[in-house]
């Protein structure tokens, strides 16, 4: 991968360059001191990944990222910043990852690996959120974007909403109502505190006490279904050729 490091702080730039030069998957690097310098370099050369600072003199990292998404072959964007309050805005401009300074080598490696797994067609598809819906999730001090297709279900507990996927449990900075409105065709409500990714719905069952339970693909334990939402689930399952509800 060809990687462009964009940061107005020399120490931060040098730290990232040192990390990158030790990685086999990185075949070349370049640096830009600000957003204007970065855009000039991107017009002259194609980069696979841009490591982008958030606050810089002149154009901010968000402003640069907005322009990058308009390129014919946009690079993957990884924000590297000292500020944790721009994460949601970063993913609105299709950032692949949001890393907090001081950047940890392993987090950078994982973010670059995610970028490498995205082929050019996927990168182009990221310009259309309807084609590749994704969720911003919290991983420790970092924020990453997770494709909705990897999600099993969402659950609201106290003040937080948790996302469960093949990568484990993550915190989501959105309410269930917001998620349901964003993805009405992909998510289905099964309980006041639970949304399930529709393609993973397998089977609706009823226990001897009359309670309803939903089997979800790749999830060990069935999820409780409220009576209010059981009928909607039954209709979904009856209309799905792959699965049918238990009587």
Query: What is the per-residue pLDDT for 140?
Result: 64
This prediction has a pTM of 0.54
Give kind and range of the element (H or E) at residue 79. Answer: strand 76-81
What number of CA atoms fall less than 13 Å from residue 15's CA on the CB side?
14
Query: What is the per-residue pLDDT for 119?
Result: 46
Query: What is the per-residue pLDDT for 241?
Result: 44
Span between the terminal Cα atoms of the chain, in Å = 54
Query: What is the per-residue pLDDT for 246?
Result: 54
Sign, CA torsion 151/75/47/55: negative
All residue ranges of the chain with pLDDT < 70 are 117-132, 139-142, 239-247
Query: What is the per-residue pLDDT for 122?
Result: 52
User: What is the C-alpha separation between 102 and 8, in angstroms, rounded?
Assistant: 15
Give strand pairing partners of 5: 31, 51
Among candidate residues 50, 64, 55, 53, the one with its CA nearest the CA of residue 93: 64
């Amino acid at each position: 991968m060809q990687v462009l490091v964009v940061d107005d702080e020399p120490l931060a730039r040098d730290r990232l360059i040192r990390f990158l030069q030790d990685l086999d998957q990185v075949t070349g690097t370049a640096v830009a001191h600000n957003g204007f310098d970065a855009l000039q370099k991107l017009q002259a050369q194609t980069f696979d990944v841009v490591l982008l600072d958030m606050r810089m003199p002149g154009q901010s990292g968000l402003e640069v990222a907005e322009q990058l998404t308009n390129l014919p072959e946009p690079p993957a964007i990884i924000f590297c910043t000292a500020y944790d309050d721009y994460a949601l805005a970063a993913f609105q401009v299709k950032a692949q990852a949001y890393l907090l300074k001081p950047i940890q080598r392993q987090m950078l490696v994982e973010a670059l690996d995610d970028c490498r797994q995205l082929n050019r067609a996927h990168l182009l598809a990221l310009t259309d959120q309807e084609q590749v819906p994704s969720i911003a999730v919290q991983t420790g001090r970092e924020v990453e974007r997770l494709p909705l297709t990897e999600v099993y279900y969402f659950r609201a507990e106290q003040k937080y909403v948790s996302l469960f996927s093949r990568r484990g449990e993550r915190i989501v900075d959105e309410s269930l109502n917001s998620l349901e409105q964003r993805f009405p065709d992909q998510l289905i409500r099964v309980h006041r505190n639970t949304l399930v990714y529709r393609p993973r719905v397998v089977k609706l069952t009823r226990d001897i006490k009359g309670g309803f339970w939903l089997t979800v693909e790749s999830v060990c334990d069935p999820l409780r279904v409220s009576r209010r939402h059981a009928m909607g689930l039954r209709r979904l399952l009856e209309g799905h050729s792959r699965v049918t509800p238990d009587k």
